[in-house]
Amino acid sequence: MVKKVRLILAIAIVIIFGYIAYSSFSDQMTPYVDFRQARSSGKTVQVIGEVVNSYSEIDTTTGALKFALREDDSGDTMEVEYLGGPKPGNFDQADKIVAIGKYESGVFHSNRLLIKCPSKYQGMESDKDNSKGI
Amino acid sequence: MLGNISILISFGGALLSVVLYIVIGRKEERSLISARIAYYIFAGFIAIAVGYLFYLFLSNRFEYRYVYAYSSTDLPLFFKISALWGGQEGTFLLWLFIAALLGFWVMYKSGKDEILVMPIYILTQFVLYLLLFVKNPFTLNSVIPPDGRGLNPLLQNFWMVIHPPIVFIGYAALSIPFVYSIVALIKNKYDSWVGKTMPWVALSTMALGLGIFLGAYWAYETLGWGGFWGWDPVENSSLVPWLFSAALLHGMVVEKAQGALRKTNLFLASTAYVMVLYGTFLTRSGVLADFSVHSFVDLGLNNYLLGSLGFFVIFSWGFLLFRSRKIDSAPISKSYFSRDFFVYLTLLFLTLSGVIILLGTSAPIITGILGKAAAIRSRYYITTHIPLGILMTVAMMLFPFSIWKFKRGSYLNKRIIAIIASAVVSTIIGIIYRMEFMHLFLLVSSVAAAMANGILFFERLKGDIGLTAGMTAHIGVALLIIGSISSTGYSDSNNLVVTSKGGDYAFGRDFSLRGVEHIKRNKDKINLAVAEKGKDFIAELDFTDSEAGMVRTPYIKKYPFYDLYISPSQLDIPNKQVHLSFKKGEVKEVGNYRIEFIDFNAKMNAKDGGMNSVAAELILSYDDTSYTIFPKIERHSDGFHSVPAHTDFGGVIHITGLQADNGEIALAFEGFNTLDEEGQTTLYFQVSKKPLINFVWFGAILIVVGTLLSFRRRSISLTSKE
């Protein structure tokens, strides 16, 4: 009897959490899209690009970090406003920036940035060039 | 050479040890000396490899790629230790080294099972050899660079020196329950495995927990984004094994007492280690490259990692399935309101949490298989873990009731009154602060859980302190949850701007820019004056320009009930350099500093082999200090090079031009605190209030202490039985 109840309870909990996990899983999914899709989708998505002219500024009233991203393949550019916190540490050295957010009224509003830096490991491949001059 | 040879010899030793254990195990007269000696060779040569790598770091041997990539001549000794595990190759070596050391302990504790335990233990570590053979830290550069690239300044931090070894102690310790589960399955005898394994499970839970918390504290203290946990794959890949390890520890409590949950524990033991390997795969393969703040680059190890992962999964789960009918397990308990039932529930919740996080972390892989790869936002973890946290804390709160004996008719005793009171008070506080319903629910259940476990803690403190292990950890979990809800969900922040001309205001405090000091070639220190009622302090914020990016160090002011977290975003210094020209004997002022140009220094002119240098003799004076310094200019085959002079306060003086005939010199000054003369220096920063963040750290410490007590208790009971 106890064993049965225990089993039922366990299954019930697993099913409930399976459902919660599943629904928020599909809810919280942020697919990678290109800029064109980002503009039209109206959902939270991820875009990747490089910062145009390596330029960014901070809006003194809202604290938003403003910059533009350029897409690799299409050359398409898009204004981004980041409000997720202070400017990420390695922002200025970034190779590419991944912005997660939503496109609204002409601007991509992001609350999370992933900074893709020229990693040490990638650097390893080009070490030979670095050390040639020495 | 020595490095690679040591790794090879140690591998030979490991292999030999496995073979000898197996061969000897079949014989009648069992002298294990030869197998043990082979193990000493294995461990000894791994130690030599680690020692040699450390020596290479100490002696700046930049012909080794690994040393070149993670060290530099000016790296302080202390951080040369952490540079040792600054990259992947070094971490594999460190992991293997720690596993080899733990092996001695395993050998000593394994008793009669040594013949089975040791060879399986060694074989389990072979996956690390696979990784080391493909990527090892002793690879040479084609040329010898004069200096290394230096260690990322973020890693030049005390916590980052001790964090990786502690995590690897956890990983290595978690392979031991796996080994014992296989041994139990081989022997087809299951009554003694728990007793022997429990100390190791407690050790891995303790070490992984400590490692995770140190990493979280480091993130909070140095990264400046204000949080301590980002649900990043790197973090999750050690959190999942920890949750499984904690679940296993709970399961083993029941098995030890009742002989129940045997299959569950065997399954958890193998799965926990599989999770370690899976985490290694996630973070060392390129699969998550576009979904994490960490740069994961494909090391070309995917096939090895996937292969060994597959082997471990199929072998351990398959073996368990094969034996499952033979494993006899007692029923869990007669009552729902028993200790074992609550422990079982906790096990279930911990496992569920592990699985949910595992799925979230694997989201890019799962969606990649189904279609377009997509990551999951951190909200996923939060939405799932708030209800899970409520269930977990409710179970934790009810658990002491299964131990307390109540007389009929006297249910409303002091304990219950205290618990209800704590719940009521926290409800009122939560309503005052307008908490969301689910947050409030979680807060109240956590407070009640802390109270219930706190009462039991003090009741048990009178007896054996080992019996308080569970309570200590439970109070820790409850406090950790309370601190997390309030510091992340109810943190208040303001974006401020201060300039050399004007300050800003937030949280009843005035912020103003006191000055910017140029401490090092690549480092600026900002002194931000913060004025609050009667108590003023200076917040020092560092900007370090490194190869890894601009590192901005936040400043944290601690108060009993909250932290004031000041995180710099950007610093604009217009015209950082001041250019001035001097005639002989002329005196000029730069900022608060007086500079006198005496002469071109003839003594310092040197002619050797086509190289020519000119130095300028300057007298620098400020406050009560006055001394002579010599910026230089050198002629090399490829032109002139300026050799700047560094002042004691971090300023730098360059010669930018000279006319020896007229006795004139042009100088550039950097870092001379010339704020007021030079336009506006502007600092953008964010100030946040993090309520009850101290609960997080205090809870974390209690969890570690609790698991430590459990480790002590379980290893004592192990020794006393023998």
- Only one residue has tokens 């609790």, namely B706
Co-location of B38 and B120 in the same domain: yes
What CATH number does domain A31-119 carry, 2.40.50.140, 3.10.290.10, 1.10.10.10, 3.10.129.10? 2.40.50.140
pLDDT at B654: 83
DSSP B297: -
> At which of B278, B305, B327 does a domain end?
B327
Co-location of B5 and B144 in the same domain: yes
Ordered by start, the domain boundaries in chain A are 1-29, 31-119
pLDDT at B269: 95
**Of the candidates A2, A29, A93, which has its C-beta nearest B550's C-beta?**
A93
Co-location of B557 and B650 in the same domain: no
- What are the strands, taking DSSP E only, across B431-576? 492-499, 504-506, 509-520, 523-532, 535-546, 549-553, 555-558, 562-572
Q: Which of B73, B205, B92 is nearest to B150 (CA)?
A: B73
- The verdict on A128 touching B (C-beta cutoff 8 Å) is yes
Question: Do residues B216 and B231 lie in contact, with contact meaning Cβ atoms separated by under 8 Å?
Answer: no
Structural domain of B682: 495-574+678-689
State yes or no: pLDDT of A2 exceeds 70: no
User: Residue B596 falls within a domain, yes or no?
Assistant: yes
**Of the candidates A24, A48, A85, which has its C-beta nearest B225's C-beta?**
A85
Co-location of B196 and B257 in the same domain: yes
Name which of B380, B385, B392 to mutate to probe chain A: the one with the most chain A Cβ atoms within 10 A of its Cβ.
Answer: B380
pLDDT at B412: 62
Parallel/antiparallel/unpaired status of strands A77-82 and A107-116: parallel
pLDDT band at B499 (very low <50, low <70, confident <90, very high): confident
pLDDT at A133: 28
pLDDT in tens, B287-308: 776 676 665 556 667 777 888 8
CATH code, domain with B184: 1.20.120
Co-location of B258 and B291 in the same domain: yes
Residues in B touching A29 (Cβ below 8 Å): 363, 367, 374-377
Name which of A8, A22, A24 to mutate to probe chain B: the one with the most chain B Cβ atoms within 10 A of its Cβ.
Answer: A24
Determine whether the interchain pair A123/B149 forms a contact, defined as Cβ–Cβ distance below 8 Å.
yes
User: Residue B557 falls within a domain, yes or no?
Assistant: yes
pLDDT band at A60 (very low <50, low <70, confident <90, very high): confident
Q: Which two tokens stand for residue A112?
A: 């999370």
> At which of B114, B135, B151 does a domain end?
B151
CA distance B424 to B109: 49
pLDDT at A44: 84
State yes or no: pLDDT of A127 exceeds 60: no
Cβ neighbours around B300 below 10 Å, total: 11
Give me the percent of chain A exceeding a pLDDT of 70.
Answer: 81
DSSP B405: -
State yes or no: pLDDT of B31 exceeds 70: yes
CA distance A83 to A111: 5
Report the interhelical angle of B437-461 vs B379-398 (nearest 10°): 40
Determine whether the interchain pair B145/A14 forms a contact, defined as Cβ–Cβ distance below 8 Å.
no
3-class SS of residue B565? strand
User: Residue B474 falls within a domain, yes or no?
Assistant: no
User: Residue B341 falls within a domain, yes or no?
Assistant: no
Determine whether the interchain pair B295/A127 forms a contact, defined as Cβ–Cβ distance below 8 Å.
no
pLDDT at B609: 47
Q: Which of B3-12, B442-451, B529-538 has the lowest mean pLDDT?
A: B529-538
State yes or no: pLDDT of B46 exceeds 90: yes
pLDDT in tens, B627-684: 888 888 876 666 677 788 888 776 788 887 777 777 888 888 877 765 444 567 888 8
pLDDT at B519: 75
pLDDT at B18: 94
pLDDT in tens, B221-240: 988 878 899 888 889 999 99
pLDDT in tens, B154-163: 888 888 889 9
* Mean residue pLDDT across chain B: 86
Better-predicted residue by pLDDT, B217 or B407? B217
- The verdict on A58 touching B (C-beta cutoff 8 Å) is yes
Cα separation values, B64 from B3, B148, B550, Å = 11, 10, 27
**Of the candidates B225, B388, B495, which has its C-beta nearest A17's C-beta?**
B388
Closest chain B residue by Cα to residue A93: B549
Mean pLDDT of B196-225: 93
Q: Helices marked H in B231-292 — which ranges?
A: 233-258, 262-284
Mean pLDDT of B160-181: 94
Tell me the residue type at B265: N
User: Residue B241 falls within a domain, yes or no?
Assistant: yes
Co-location of B135 and B270 in the same domain: no
Cα separation values, B305 from B14, B174, B311, B368, Å = 20, 18, 10, 19
pLDDT at B144: 84
pLDDT band at B111 (very low <50, low <70, confident <90, very high): confident
- The verdict on A29 touching B (C-beta cutoff 8 Å) is yes
Mean pLDDT of B105-131: 90
CA distance A111 to B722: 58
Q: Which of B266-275, B430-439, B653-662 has the lowest mean pLDDT?
A: B653-662
pLDDT in tens, A88-101: 766 776 778 888 88
- The verdict on A1 touching B (C-beta cutoff 8 Å) is no
Number of domains in chain B: 4
Which ipTM value was assigned to this complex?
A: 0.70
Q: Which of B49-63, B457-471, B569-583 has the lowest mean pLDDT?
A: B569-583
pLDDT at B605: 46
pLDDT at A134: 27
Co-location of B244 and B123 in the same domain: no
pLDDT at A80: 92
Determine whether the interchain pair B384/A58 forms a contact, defined as Cβ–Cβ distance below 8 Å.
no
CA distance B511 to B538: 10
State yes or no: pLDDT of B518 exceeds 80: no
pLDDT in tens, B564-620: 999 988 887 765 667 788 888 888 887 778 888 888 875 444 555 444 677 888 888
What is the DSSP secondary-structure string of B615-681?
EEEEEEEETTEEEEE--EEEEETTEEEEE-EE-TTS-EEEEEEEETTTTEEEEEEESS--TTTSS--
User: Residue B42 falls within a domain, yes or no?
Assistant: yes
- The verdict on A66 touching B (C-beta cutoff 8 Å) is no
pLDDT band at A125 (very low <50, low <70, confident <90, very high): very low
Better-predicted residue by pLDDT, A32 or A68? A68
pLDDT band at B547 (very low <50, low <70, confident <90, very high): low
**Of the candidates A86, A89, A120, which has its C-beta nearest B686's C-beta?**
A86
Residues in A touching B377 (Cβ below 8 Å): 28-30, 44, 100, 112
